[in-house]
Structure formats: C-alpha cells, structure tokens
Structure 1
C-alpha cells in the first residue's frame, strides 16, 4: 500500500448523467466553481438541466420521434 488515496470513480451512463463519487467541485466554462458534498454526484451531460451542472433528469423529457403504435 502506497498511502495514496483511491482514485475517484467516474461512471458514464448511456443517455444520462455522468456519475462521480463525491464530494466534487466542477469548474464551469465561465470560471464559476460549483461544489457538491454528496457521496455520488450526477453531472448533466446533455445541458438540458435547469440545475446545471447537476442533473435534474431533464434528459428523460424528450419528444417522441416515432409515432405511437396503434392499439
């Protein structure tokens, strides 16, 4: 054992947020720093979130591109 802290785990989800083991600081493109002390943080990857950079599941609210099947 080298005494180094374990690496931070980042999980990229399909069609969803990027999950990062927290706490984390996210530096936005305008230089602002956003901090979360949660043990797992969902970072928005689609930029639809009203709470960007945190995911608010806005990626789930997509318009239907194919017509609904007839019942």
Structure 2
C-alpha cells in the first residue's frame, strides 16, 4: 500500500473573476504555436483576456477593460 506522504502534492490553480488564472509555479506553458515558455515564480499569473503585451503572462491589462454591463448603460 503506497504511503500518502510519498504522493506529489497537486498543483493549485486559482480562477479569478475578471482577472488572470493564478498557478502555483514554477510552470511551463505550451503556446498555440508549439513554443514552450517557462516561469520559475512561486505563483504565476496567466492572462485569460488575451490583452496582455506579455502574453501568456498577465500584465494587468484587464484592469483597463470596461465591464460589458457599464458599456451597455451608456
């Protein structure tokens, strides 16, 4: 019977509302063109809105986006 202490701990992924996906690092990300990028940070922010100039890493560009509900009221 395997010892529970020998099992690797799962990687924690946190989804944030209107923001990036946070992943406990280090991580490697495979891009749609097949390139692999790596971050050795202890928490990595992955862009979910594709507005980042540093994609796939989040550069907080999502903060400048106008919420859809506010745009409809105007």
- TM-score when normalising by structure 2: 0.84
| Pairwise CA RMSD | 1.3
Match of 2:33 among 30, 34, 38: 30
CA distance in 2, matches of 1:22, 1:2: 21
**What is the aligned partner in structure 1 of residue 12 from structure 2?**
9
What per-residue deviation string (whole Å, max 9, x for no partner) do you get for residues 9-29 of structure 1? 000000000000000000000
Query: 1:62 offset after TM fit, Å?
Result: 1.7
Cα distance between partner residues in 2 of 1:62 and 1:44: 13
Aligned length: 67
Gaps of 5+ in 2: none
Unaligned runs of 5+ in 1: none
Runs (4+) off by over 6 Å: none
**Which one has a larger percent helix, Structure 1 or Structure 2?**
2
Q: TM-score scaled to structure 1, two decimals?
A: 0.87
